[in-house]
Structures are given as structure tokens and as C-alpha cells.
Amino acid sequence: MKYMFDWKKDINKKELDKAIEVIKNNGLVLVPTETVYGIAANALEDEACKKIFEAKGRAQDNPLIVHVSDKNMLKSLVKNISTVEEKLIDAFMPGPFTLILEKNESICKTASAGNSTIGIRMPSNSIIHELIKESNIPLAAPSANISGRPSGTNVQDIFEELKDKMDCIIDGGNCKIGIESTVVKVIDGVPTILRPGFITEDDIKKAVGRVALSSNLFKKIEENQSVESPGMKYRHYAPKTKCVLVENSENQIDIINNILKENENACVVGFSEDKDYIRTKKFIDLGSKNNLEKIAHNIFSALREIDKENVTLAIIEGVEKKGLGLSIMNRVVRACENNIIH
């Protein structure tokens, strides 16, 4: 690692110039966004994007998301934007929203995993925005983690696993949202959610009148099947410890306590209200079950906390698959590798 910058209070202009130098030299920068931390590199250069795949241990057919500073930069990278896509851009960018669009030749093949499309996002976080704007370079920036592991929402959680792989690390404090962007592709005029995120089904319906959900949100995708969005195909967000998800139900606590009887060395990832009723001392608190935004913010830190407990099993409480709960459950189902108790 060449540089380590602390920008929790403000952006240092001289340090920004050094980070831009890293990007221009096809290096890797660990940078915060409003969703999670990202590993950023020049999206126009195969050499730079290959370093992202190497650092993460990421499969080559798993496309990256390209981050832009404004609408002009976005339009310089893609073609054939439809009326519906224009509405989505105007409604949700900048913000935690990714749109799959037909790319032009400027975006390197490594970033798009050979697809004719690319996911484009305009982050609202000021640090990555300034890095893109001042360098005038679109940044490929997948979540900052080793592939398959939980995404990083603060530098402390991911420093040890990534410090030797980065040229520059920028500490911008805790990410505001804590769960990755919603990924949408317009199919036959209908915005279709490929990966749920902070922007919900209802938000999109209000903006453009129609919305659909991909049938693959909770499916295991076959290895030979191509995908246009990250987070769909491979083992994702998973601790090293085996995890089981107990779906949202009236007898959720009883089910968890029965599992604990059979598994003495287990921890529970659950809600504040349930802590006193669940028979374990190893309880990782996600926050109130009535505050989905807080649960979404805490979920990746909680998944990382599991491995620190030195248990053989983690039991995770599920939420209703509605609104932001859909996004939370999408992450947890994949973290549990579809090991679910209904």
C-alpha cells in the first residue's frame, strides 16, 4: 500500500491528487460510497480492471459496476437510452441505484465481463464523486471484500484482508446506507430488479409506473449461465461459519430456541426485541425489527462479527420480503447459501 488517507472530516486536495495519480496509473483505490466501500480502478482500462478481479479473487464472468460523476459522463459510455431509462436516471441518480445499459466501446471488456451491457451508477457520496469528477475517469468499483465474503461498510472491517492488495486506502468513516445499490434492467419497457437494494420496488413503481422482479433474486444461478449484474451468481456475503436463516414467522423465536438446544456452540443474529427471549449469550444485535434501514445498515458488519464468535453455527432471523426487507433477505439467503428453515 502506497497511501492511507483519513477523509472522515473532509477531503484533502493534495491527497486527492495522489489518489487520482493512482487511478491514472491503473492502480487500485479503496474508497467509500454511500452504500458500501468499493475497490476502484479505471473502467476504461483492461489492465486496471484485471487488478480488481485479482485483488478480490473474483470470477471473470462476474461483471463490475461503473461509477460516473454526472449525466454527461454516463451518456459518453452508453448508447440507445430509452425514455423509461431516462426517467430512471432522473429519478434515482445520483444515489444507490444501478442501471444496466447498452455500453459503447470505451468501457473495457474486462469490466463488462464480455457482455454488451454494463451497470452504471452515479454515487452520491462526496469522496468517490470527487475522485471521479476531478480525474474525469469513470471508475469500476465493486464492493470491497474478498469475493464471497460480506461487503465492507467501514475500513476497519476490511483492512486486514485488503491492505496488501491496494495502492491507496481512503477512510471516509461508516457508509451511510450499508447495503449495495439496487440493480435494474429495463426489459420490454418494464424496469426489472436484478438485485434489490436501498431503492425499493415501490420507489421505482412511483417513479415510472411499472416494475418487475427478476425470477433469480433467490435462486442459485448455474455456473454456465451469464449474468449482467453482480450478486446473482456466486456465493456472496458469506461468513466462514455455517449459517442458517429462520424465515419470518410467528414462531420464529421458538424455532431458534429449538435449534439452539441441538447446537450448543451457536450464535444468533437477531432483533433487539427478541434478545431477552432467545436462549443464548452469543447474540449479535441487528437493531429493531421495525427499523429496516438500520438492519440494512448493520447486516454486513453483523455477518462479519459471526466469525469472531468462534461458533460452529450462526442462526439468522429473517424479515418479511417486502420493501427494504426484500433486499435484506436477498443478502441473507445468499450468505446462508440457501440454507433456510421455513
The CA distance from 173 to 153, in Å, is 8
User: pLDDT tier at 224 (50, 70, 90 boundaries)?
Assistant: low
Mean pLDDT of all residues in 118-132 = 98
Strand 190-195 with 117-121, pairing: unpaired
pLDDT category of residue 234 using cuts at 50, 70 and 90: low
Instruction: Give CA 203 to chain center in angstroms.
Output: 19
Within a domain: residue 28? yes
Judgement on whether residues 160 and 288 belong to the same structural domain of the protein: no
pLDDT at 229: 67
Residue 27 in this model has a pLDDT that exceeds 90: yes
How much is the pLDDT for 342? Answer: 85
How confident is the model at residue 323, as a pLDDT?
95
Task: Decide if 227 is inside a domain.
Answer: no
- The pTM for the full model equals 0.94
The answer for residues whose C-beta is within 8 angstroms of residue 307's C-beta and 6 or more apart is 239, 240, 241
Mean pLDDT of 219-245: 72
Percent of the chain with pLDDT over 70: 95
Residue 128's pLDDT is 98
Last residue of a domain, one of 194, 213, 232: 213
Is the Cβ–Cβ distance between 273 and 206 less than 8 Å?
no
For a pLDDT cut of 90, what percent of the chain falls above it?
90
> Considering the chain, what is the average pLDDT of its residues?
94
Residues 188 and 278 in one domain: no
Q: Which domain holds residue 289?
A: 243-341
Give the per-residue pLDDT at 190.
98
Report if residue 100 sits inside a domain.
yes
Domain with residue 185: its CATH number is: 3.90.870.10
CATH number of the domain enclosing 287: 3.40.50.11030
CB neighbourhood size of 341 (10 A): 16
**Quick check: is 253 in a domain?**
yes
**For residue 135, is it within any domain?**
yes
Question: Based on the domain organization, do 330 and 181 belong to the same domain?
Answer: no
Question: Domain check: are 179 and 255 in the same one?
Answer: no
From 213, 233, 262, give the residue that closes a domain: 213
In this structure, is residue 178 part of a structural domain?
yes
Cross-strand partners of 191: 186
CA distance 137 to 67: 9
- Which of 128, 62, 292, 113 has the alpha carbon at shortest distance from 196? 292
pLDDT at 218: 84
- Predicted local confidence at residue 231, as pLDDT: 58
Task: Answer yes or no: do 26 and 148 share one domain.
Answer: yes
- Residue 88 domain flag: yes
Under 8 Å between Cβ of 92 and 77: no
Contacts (Cβ under 8 Å, ≥6 apart) of 331? 179, 236, 237, 299, 300
Q: Would the pLDDT of 173 be above 90?
A: yes
Total domains in the chain come to 2
pLDDT at res. 314 = 98
Place of cell 448508447: 79
CA–CA dist 324, 332 (Å, integer) = 13
Is residue 27 located within the same domain as residue 168?
yes
Is 188 within the bounds of a domain?
yes
Average pLDDT over residues 138-160: 95
Looking at the fold, whether 276 and 205 belong to one and the same domain comes out as no
pLDDT tens-digit profile of 64-76? 999 999 999 999 9
pLDDT surpasses 90 at 144: yes
162 and 17 fall within a common domain: yes
Q: Which of 314, 282, 284, 319 is nearest to 301 (CA)?
A: 284
